[in-house]
Chain A
Amino acid sequence: MNLKRSLFAVTTAALAFSVVVLGGGYGLRAHQRIRSGRPDLGLVSCTHCHQGSLNKMPWAKARPHHDSPGGMVLSPDGKRLFIALDDKDEVAEADVATLAVLRRAKVPGGPFGLALDAQGERLFVACQHVDQVAVLDTSDLAEKARVSVGVRPTDIAFCPTRGGERLVVTNSGSDDISILSPSPLAEVARVAGGREPYAATVVDGGRCVYVANRMAVHDGQLAPPASEVTVLDPASGHIVNRLALDSAHMAEGIAAVPKKGWVLNTMIRVRNLVPITQVKDGWVMASGLAISQADGAVTQVPLDEANASFSDPSGVVASPDGRRAFVASGGSDVVTVVDLDWLNSWLSRASPADRGDAIMDMAFSYHYVLARIPTGCNPKHLALSPDGSRLFVAERLDDSVLVVDTASLKPLGRIVLGDGGRNDPIRQGERVFTRARYTFQGGFDCRSCHADGHVDGLSYDFDGSGVGDNLLDNRSLCGVAGTEPFKWNGRNPTLQFQDGPRFARVLMRTDPIPDPQLDELATFILHLPPTRTIPWDQVGKPLTPAQQRGRDLFFATKRPNGTPIPRSRQCQVCHRPPLYTNRLIASVGTQGRRDPKEGFDTPHLIGVGASAPYLHDGRARTLEEIWTVYQIDDLHGVSSYWTKLQLNDMVEYLRTL
């Protein structure tokens, strides 16, 4: 009897459990299908919709801050070096003779770009986190004034002009350039730059200012990209010229060359429209230097060698006699010394065809590369003493500044700013992120396409099924934590998977990143905060009426006539806040000719205003084009009832995310 009873009890319990589980599972699946509007949906994790708070994201938590050197400037007498420490909200002053840090001043807001006036009395600081320029008195490093500029200012140049003193500020986040009057400190003009104005240099004693724009201008899916060099007259605020660096992106360094009338730009020659398989042939990325001559002619020459690359060219300076240039390669921990006299001689006799082909010839650099100076980790900004005898190299991820004797090209020592953050896994991950040794011949690193973790605005041919006809849009890594799976096909559940062995085979063409470094890389990426797309003084402010109307559209469940919008076509269902993605595959009618499947991972929308182009293959140049050009049968949200005003409102709202 007991056995029977026991059997009965066990059977009953099993049945009850099955009913609960199966019923619960059925109910849960029904709930998910109803709420997602997706009858095809299998059982998925509740976290696709119930995402929790953004405050719990890794990037929202406190992290260690480091003494990463940013912009540098020397006093007119060459005795003192001022160094921006953006991660610490400080500016440091170092003694050039003793290499000792004399003092530090608190400068809130991420001080990054620096400039001194002609007398060396006023230090101008571009504070990238708060969209401001501060003025410090160099006698005591006390802040004297502050003024708002465009979004995320990265560099500042001081120049005397026929209209008085001017400051030119590169606003990388708002794609414009501020022109300031230093006394009193005020913005007198703001002009449109290219995409991500990043660095500025003064030419001819203030006759004009050249601005390097880091990202390429996206002008059509299959059009080769080009970065712009914006030339402006700081006295009038008028744009004089917009030079194109063809097939170039990440053009973030710029320097005027005395006595030659040139301007040098560091750049990556990118060939995103060829299959990524060509990495092994050195075809996808190559580091170069662009020479802009006074007549507007631009010639690109390689910094790479036939079987060795020097990735992420960043800072560049030219010697006062105009005979040499120094270029920091952030991914290769090297400063390259360039013989400008040789290039001058070559330019004087080169045919237009020679000039056009030079960047393709990896053996060409043999003629003018005089030396490669090893540096610490991630050399970025450079500065030269006024007499040209000392080169200062900001070793950004080592928290130090290398000092080099430019005659012997030997290191003289280091200005030590911090401990390098060796115990910080995020910092360690950033080193992996910026290290080119993990790719074929050191040709590129993660940062070569994801500057600051964000996008480069390009689409790449990842499938190898043809030249330039199966592109995938580069996606931002900023704010990516919690948005897994990754990749447009949604196949990669973790960043380690995403950046692991298959990635090494497909893209890097080398051995995979070792597991410990892979974990560090993932840690770094998960701590990348979302890109800020709105001015700092607008953060936390209520939405404007237009933005609020756009938000209402985003969350609309019915058309104006009361007709319900199917849940699967409501914006907020797939792009569910707070991450603005439900992390599911969705088909929105954008399958291309070569796309094997119609569904794509639903991208998160945080920072979407700054991540053009759009859709999985980058076919939409602007947010508007998603609906005005590429919407089919209301598959990508029901938008057919929107007026032009409503579309504009929607775009305004999306730009706030």
Chain B
Amino acid sequence: MKNRLSPPFAIVIGLASALSHAQGMNAPAPAPGAGPLPIPVVSRFENFGEKDGIPSHKVHCVLKASDGRIWIGTPNGLCVRQDNGTFRRYGTEDGLSHLTVLSIAEDPATGDLWIATLQGLTRLSGGRFTAFTQTNSGLPNNVVYGVAVAEGTVWAATAAGTGAYDLRTRAWKPYDQTNTVMNEPWCYAVAPGKGVIYLGVWAGGVVEHDPHTGTFKAYRDPDGEFHIALATDSGPIVDVTSWVAYDQGILWQGSYFGLARYNTGSATWRTWVQDKTPLLSNFVNTVFAHGRLGWVSTDRGVSVTDGDNWVNYLVDKEGRGVVRIYRPGKPPETRMMTTALPDGFIMAVWADDHEAWFATSNGLSHGVFTVSSDSSALTSNP
């Protein structure tokens, strides 16, 4: 029996996805396992690598900008996908502060890109690069892991605290263990929430900061153990935070020891670890939040979840693409794909309702969601 997604089913998936996004507006949640899968499914992967102009096999991060252009960060510079499908590279000779690009964020107000590198933060505006370093500006440290822009402020998570750069006053405000509740300054990620900022602190859990009141609140692992989750669903999975992401009231915490989710509306936590849950791996590089979905980049593939349903993308030993779907109350479904991610080690994801882009350790991949014309891309269960 072939396990194909029929056209009506694809449409239903889209509607269900939209419905799931509307849940925040008091729409009744479907019973667990009932109804269509509320997660879009990738039908095929289109892969890009060094042959396409990407200057490294490794891609650290990916961003689709508001003008539709795809930007990626690599260990060998910043790249943008051109109209002909090839990638144009920018390096230090163009003004990038360092070749190793770790994270990219777009300022929604201006379209400027802010680029986190191993040696400073770089702004790309109107084709011109401007470097901010710890010596020429108030940036706390040159090693910038994560960057985000919200409400006229650029937030840079660095190895010596998080720096907030006010785009109007051009003043830098550093946040570290001396002026916040964080127990150490090493910040890995920053995620703007609703009126607050979430800081992912390497061994300090997640710090919530309200810039308007100047207050801080630390979310810490309740059991304090980072090798084992003794207290599930009660706080961050561990204190070691590798990433934070936020959208529509849902905060995700990635860690090298599992995944956690915080529902800011109900103030409830859920945690996942591999083997005991569908989470592909405890080694979570990053999480991308879109709507109520978390796209979780791990060393064994991508897990996509709304907390109840899961869609995992793996690459088997033969290099074939495998998708596993978990729905509450139902046995897992495993389907073979006609295409596969270029590698199982996923660095980062960018996704919306229509497509997904995957930064992997062996190139970039474009995930095309299931549509009527290519529903045959998924083959039967092995």
Contacts and interface: CB of A to CB of B under 8 A. Distances in A.
Nearest to A620: B136
A189 B168 CA distance: 11
A625 B136 contact: yes
A237 interface: yes
Contacts of A232: 126
A238 interface: yes
A624 interface: yes
A192 B137 contact: no
B111 A236 contact: yes
A599 to B, nearest CB: 26
B213 interface: no
B138 interface: yes
Contacts of A150: 168
Contacts of A242: 125-128
Interface in A222-253: 228, 230-232, 236-242, 244
B122 to A, nearest CB: 13
B109 interface: yes
A174 B134 CA distance: 22
A648 interface: yes
Interface stretch (B5-13, B74-82, B169-177): B169-177
Contacts of B171: 546, 648, 652, 655
B110 A237 contact: yes
A651 interface: yes
A244 B161 CA distance: 35
A629 B135 contact: yes
B138 A648 contact: yes
B160 interface: yes
Nearest to A232: B126
Contacts of A231: 126
Contacts of B137: 622, 624
B173 A648 contact: yes
A323 interface: no
B112 interface: yes
A241 B126 contact: yes
A230 B126 contact: yes
A546 B170 CA distance: 13
A533 B128 CA distance: 25
Nearest to B111: A238
Main secondary structure of the interface of A (DSSP, over half): mixed
A541 interface: no
A644 B126 contact: no
Contacts of A237: 109-111
B126 A189 contact: no
B136 A239 contact: no
Contacts of B236: none
B136 A192 contact: no
B135 A239 contact: no
B167 interface: yes
Contacts of B168: 150, 174, 176, 190
Contacts of A240: 126
Contact of B110 (A228, A239, A647, A652): A239
Interface string A173-190: 010100000000000011
A174 B161 CA distance: 27
Given A230-B126, A242-B126, A622 B178 contact: no
A644 B134 contact: yes
Given A190-B168, A241-B127, A624-B135, A644 B111 contact: no
Contacts of A655: 171
Interface string A135-150: 0000000000000001
A248 to B, nearest CB: 15
A645 B135 contact: no
B174 A621 contact: no
B55 interface: no
A192 B112 contact: yes
Interface string B117-130: 00000010111100
Contacts of B109: 189, 191, 237
B266 interface: no
A192 B135 contact: no
A648 B132 CA distance: 14
A213 to B, nearest CB: 12
A239 B134 contact: no
Given A238-B110, A644-B160, A192 B125 contact: yes
A189 B108 CA distance: 11
A52 to B, nearest CB: 32
Interface residue tally on A, bucketed by range: 20 to 34
Contacts of A190: 152, 167-168
B84 interface: no
A561 interface: no
B111 A621 contact: no
B179 interface: yes
A116 to B, nearest CB: 27
A6 interface: no
A643 interface: yes
Contact of A625 (B135, B140, B141, B160): B135
B376 to A, nearest CB: 40
B110 A192 contact: yes
Interface in A638-657: 643-645, 647-648, 651-652, 655
A555 B6 CA distance: 75
Nearest to B136: A622
A239 B140 contact: no
A628 interface: yes
A621 B160 contact: no
A546 B164 CA distance: 13
Contact of A645 (B125, B127, B179): B179
A644 B136 contact: no
Nearest to A192: B125
A189 B110 contact: yes
Nearest to A647: B138
A645 B174 contact: yes
A369 to B, nearest CB: 32
Contact of B126 (A239, A628, A651): A239
Given A624-B136, A645-B178, A239 B125 contact: yes
A625 B137 CA distance: 8
B78 to A, nearest CB: 17
A628 B134 contact: yes
Interface in B43-71: 67
Nearest to A621: B136
A239 B179 contact: no
Nearest to A645: B174
B69 to A, nearest CB: 12
A485 B369 CA distance: 73
A176 B152 CA distance: 13
Nearest to A643: B178
Contact of B135 (A189, A236, A628, A643): A628
B135 A648 contact: no
A239 B152 CA distance: 15
Contacts of B161: 644
A554 B134 CA distance: 21
A651 B171 CA distance: 9
Nearest to A240: B126
Contacts of A628: 134-136
B134 A192 contact: no
20 contacts: A189-B109, A190-B167, A192-B110, A192-B123, A228-B128, A230-B126, A232-B126, A237-B110, A238-B67, A239-B112, A241-B126, A242-B126, A624-B138, A625-B136, A628-B135, A629-B135, A644-B174, A645-B174, A648-B172, A648-B173
Interface of B: 67, 109-112, 123, 125-128, 134-138, 140-141, 152, 160-161, 167-168, 170-174, 176, 178-179
Return the 7 tightest CB-CB contacts between A and B, nearest first.
Answer: A238-B111, A242-B126, A239-B126, A628-B135, A242-B128, A648-B138, A191-B110
Interface of A: 150, 174, 176, 189-192, 228, 230-232, 236-242, 244, 546, 621-622, 624-625, 628-629, 643-645, 647-648, 651-652, 655
Given A192-B112, A238-B67, A647-B138, 5 more contacts: A231-B126, A239-B111, A241-B126, A645-B176, A651-B138
